[in-house]
C-alpha cells in the first residue's frame, strides 16, 4: 500500500487535536508518578515496545528517579497498515526475565492483542510480575479479552484512529506534537 506525501500532509491538516502537547506531557507526568510509587523499590526491567512505545518510553524514563534496566522488543499487528493483522514478532529480547518485575511500555491500548501477547510471553519467560503502561487507552468494547486494561494509563480517548506521540498514520506522524484523530475514522 503506497502513500503519498500529499496524503500524509492532508491527514495532519484535517485531523482533530484530541490532546495538546501540554496535556500529553501532563499525562506522562502522572504516569511517571504512578509508576514510581509502584516500582521504585522493585528493580524493574522496562520494555519499550517498538515503534509505537519509543516516544512515550523516551519521555517517561527520565521522570523515573530510581534504578531500572531498559530493553526493547518489537512486536506488531499493524506495520504501516491502519488495520491489525496477526502478531508479528520482529525482535524478541534476549534478556533473562526469570524472577524479574517487568514493565511493558507502549503507546496505545486499542484492542490490546499485541500488549496482551507480550505480557503473556513475559510470564512464560519466568517474569515474577508483568505490568503494562500505555499513554492512551481507547474506549470501545472490542478489547482482546473482557476487562483488559493497562496497569498504568495516561489518557483515555474516544474510539477514533489516532496518531502522534508514537502512534502513526501509515508509518507517519509518530512525531506529531499532540494526539490527533484522523478525519472520518
Domain boundaries along the sequence of the chain: 5-181
SS3 for 158? Answer: coil
5-181 CATH fold: Rossmann fold (3.40.50)
Report how far residue 71's alpha carbon sits from residue 95's, in angstroms, rounded to the nearest whole number.
8
Asked whether the CA dihedral 39, 44, 49, 54 is positive or negative, the reply is positive
Residue appearing with cell numbers 533473562: 96
The one-digit pLDDT tens for each residue of the chain (185 residues) are 588 999 999 999 999 999 999 999 999 999 999 999 999 999 999 999 999 999 999 999 999 999 999 999 998 765 444 444 566 778 888 899 999 999 999 999 999 988 998 999 999 999 999 999 999 999 999 998 888 999 999 999 999 999 999 999 999 999 999 999 999 87
Predicted confidence (pLDDT) per residue in 37-90, tens digit: 999 999 999 999 999 999 999 999 999 999 999 999 998 765 444 444 566 778
How is residue 50 written as a grid cell? 517498538
37 three-state secondary structure:
helix
Residue 71 forms beta bridges with which residues? 47
Q: pTM of the prediction? A: 0.91
H/E stretch holding 23: helix 21-39
Cβ pair 174, 167 in contact under 8 A? yes
Radius of gyration of the CA atoms of the chain, in A: 16
Q: How far apart are CA 85 and CA 58, in angstroms?
A: 27
- How does strand 152-157 pair with strand 69-76? unpaired
CB atoms near residue 36 (< 10 Å): 13
Amino acid at each position: 500500500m503506497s502513500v503519498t506525501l500529499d496524503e500524509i500532509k492532508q491527514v495532519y491538516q484535517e485531523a482533530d487535536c484530541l490532546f495538546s502537547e501540554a496535556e500529553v506531557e501532563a499525562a506522562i507526568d502522572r504516569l511517571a508518578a504512578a509508576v514510581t510509587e509502584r516500582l521504585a523499590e522493585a528493580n524493574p526491567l522496562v520494555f519499550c515496545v517498538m515503534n509505537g512505545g519509543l516516544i512515550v518510553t523516551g519521555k517517561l524514563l527520565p521522570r523515573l528517579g530510581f534504578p531500572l534496566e531498559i530493553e526493547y522488543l518489537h512486536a506488531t499487528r499493524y506495520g504501516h497498515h491502519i488495520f491489525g493483522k496477526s502478531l508479528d514478532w520482529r525482535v524478541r529480547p534476549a534478556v533473562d526475565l526469570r524472577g524479574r518485575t517487568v514493565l511493558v511500555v507502549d503507546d496505545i491500548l486499542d484492542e490490546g492483542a499485541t500488549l496482551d501477547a507480550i505480557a503473556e510471553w513475559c510470564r512464560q519467560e519466568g517474569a515474577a510480575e508483568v505490568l503494562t503502561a500505555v499513554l492512551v487507552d481507547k474506549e470501545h468494547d472490542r478489547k482482546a479479552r473482557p476487562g483488559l486494561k493497562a496497569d498504568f494509563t495516561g489518557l483515555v480517548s474516544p474510539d477514533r484512529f489516532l496518531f502522534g506521540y508514537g502512534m502513526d498514520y501509515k508509518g507517519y506522524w509518530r512525531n506529531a506534537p499532540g494526539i490527533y484523530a484522523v478525519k472520518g475514522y
